Structure 1
Amino acid sequence: MTSRSRVSGWAFLAPVVVYLGAFYAYPLYRNLDLSLRHYTVRSFVQGDAPFNGLDNYRTVLADPTFWPALAHTLVFTAASLAAQFAIGLALAVFFNRHFPLAATLRALFLVPWLLPLIVSASTWSWMLNSDSGIVNAALGQVGIGPVNWLTSPDWALTSVIVANIWIGIPFNLVVLYSGLQAIPAHLYEAAALDGATGRQQFWRITFPLLRPVSLITLLLGLVYTLKVFDIIWIMTRGGPNGASTTLATWSYRLGFGNLLPEFGPGAAVGNLLIVLALVAGLVYIRTQR
């Protein structure tokens, strides 16, 4: 390779390197630095926060909020992923049959994905309102009393999970439907000639050949769901009494939700979320091998 070709290669690579450095590497470095120092509002502005090592992480792990928040994060993520993937896959298989108006209906299913999250979360807050929500009104028509969806510790986490599932289904539908389009049709024709039922074709052809697409769909969904903040914050603010608090909402509350912000512990919680996402990525790479 000539020196001119080498310079040209670096010139094409430079914008990507600058972008990754400015918007990924530097913020990660700053977040790590925040988590290793004792920041106050004054020191945050002046930049003279003392180094305190892992004290912020010890503070976070010893806080009584940590373990419930971690459990809520895991439940929220697992339930959302399982339901989004299962419903998205079912819809993808359904629309893969190419019936009239299939394209129109598929486009309508994309609406939750296209709406701003603040609109979606506000709509669900109105629907699940204890006094004037349409869900309780519908339950009242069949003789079921009102449910405090957003203000009861028993229902708050379930409510935000349902809203997040609704928002995430279109993503799973689009990606899995694209994967279905790549499966050769002659495989289904051959299976039908051999007498395979629709269920057998799904488990013997569709599901195995969708495995690579399914894995990347689940990985992307996992990374996104771990850091979901806006839906929960708008609907319940992590309450009541921490019943729907996740690591993402707790991190925000530590850093920005108090009169005396705790920047160091808030950054430490954020870094724990990054570690969880990194572990998921490593599991995905291992699975691909």
Structure 2
Amino acid sequence: MGLTARIRTRDGWAVSHAVVTVTDMTGTQVLRAEADAEGAVRDTTPLAPGAYTVIVTAIGYAPVASSAIVTASGRAEAGTVTLSRQGDVELPPPGPWTIDPAHTSVAAVAQHLGISSVRGRFTEFAGSIEIAPDDIGKSRVQAVIRASSIDTGNGMRDNHLRSADFLDAEQHPEITYRSTGLSPAGPDRWTVHGELAMRGIVRPVDLDLAYLGTGPDSWGGIRSAFRASTELQRSDFAITYNQIVQAGIVAIGTTLKIELDIQAVQGETLPQM
């Protein structure tokens, strides 16, 4: 009996200081509970059967209200409640933003032997975002990645990935991405249309982008967070090296999953920390 709920940010983190208030149809408060360190609410106060309003609040986040029906069991399950940062809009404020490499991850995932995955990340990159003031669709993103900075945690494998069999980092030291457009794909979700240049080959590549919110940082700046992903076919960039392990099984999958966790700082330069 009682109330259960999970309070999360839009990127899945627990909101440990959230407060959940339950009111009946007259607006009278019948329950108030705080989330624990995991963002979970488990209150055992029995509730009479009927309709209620569940309100979730947390400092720095916009409140969320929803309806709940309590059955004869006296239990209300609010499920997962997602909170947005206070003042969030569909995209950050217009103007230039600079990607912060120290708080950004550029990762690639490849299937290995058909049964598991190998993850790698690029450790050297830079990028910028320009949010258009009048037409969001004209916003721009550009990034440059140093191909030789690939890191999978295995030196021998990394050296092979830098070779002509894969990234050919000596002949093509930079991987670049430039957007060509932006279109909405749902609440707080966008499709970034653009071109990826790798190994001297340019292909159109779309990114699935989720905007996670904007807020102040510890250095007097404003930051925005995004999560983006896409899939690449290795053959599109002439990366065809592989090993046949046995009939029907190859060492490396033909598809690469690209996963980006991005923080950008408002302005054309990064703050001094």
- TM-score computed with the length of structure 1 as normaliser: 0.23
Name the one with the larger helix percent: 1
- TM-score computed with the length of structure 2 as normaliser: 0.24
Q: Which has the higher contact order (CA 8 A, sep 6+)?
A: 1
